[in-house]
């Protein structure tokens, strides 16, 4: 049995990214993150290449209130598969891929505007 991923209860802006992780709410996290409507959770994804709907099971399992998911794909923009985009769309979630830095900045702006936004952020070195 795998331990549950680290979880921060609530939303918080991303204060910094790089060196393989993120800083938010005055804390550091090494690895990738899922920023949901109710929590920020450690995410095991290490690359955006090959992501499937199963990688977003936590997002789809909880009523998060997320209507737009920003996908930070690492240092460079990688487009998600058609199957992933269709699966999220069927769940009522739009996905916007961009590099991780742009996703962090956009997430912070939309979060400050109290928009129903989430982010799936691949950590970068």
Written in H, E and C, the secondary structure of 79-97 is: CCCHHHHHHHHHCCCEEEE
State residue 5's pLDDT score.
Answer: 73
Contacts of residue 95, defined as CB under 8 A and 6 or more positions apart, other chains included, come to 68, 69, 71, 80, 84, 85, 88, 89
**pLDDT at 106 exceeding the cut of 90:** yes
The count of structural domains within the chain is 1
H or E stretch including 22? strand 21-24
Which range has the worst mean pLDDT, 10-19, 62-71, 114-123? 62-71
Answer yes or no: are the C-beta atoms of 42 and 7 closer than 8 Å: yes
Percent of the chain with pLDDT over 70: 95
H or E stretch including 61? helix 57-61
**Domain assignment of residue 2, yes or no:** no
**Domain assignment of residue 50, yes or no:** yes
State residue 99's pLDDT score.
Answer: 98
Helix (H, G, I), strand (E, B) or coil at 111: helix
The CATH number of residue 80's host domain is 3.40.1230.10
pLDDT tens sequence across 29-67: 999 999 998 899 999 999 999 999 999 999 998 766 899
**pLDDT at 1 exceeding the cut of 90:** no
């Amino acid at each position: 049995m795998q331990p549950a991923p680290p979880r921060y209860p609530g939303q918080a802006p991303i204060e910094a990214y790089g060196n393989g992780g993120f800083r938010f709410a005055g804390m550091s996290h090494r690895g990738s993150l899922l920023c949901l409507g109710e929590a920020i959770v450690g995410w095991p994804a290490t690359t955006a290449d090959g992501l499937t709907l199963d990688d977003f099971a936590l997002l789809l399992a909880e009523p998060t209130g997320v209507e737009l998911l920003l996908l930070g794909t690492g240092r460079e923009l990688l487009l998600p598969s058609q199957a992933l985009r269709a699966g999220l769309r069927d769940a009522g979630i739009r996905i916007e891929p961009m590099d991780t830095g742009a996703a962090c900045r956009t997430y912070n702006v939309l979060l400050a505007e109290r928009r129903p936004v989430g982010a799936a952020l691949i950590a970068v070195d």
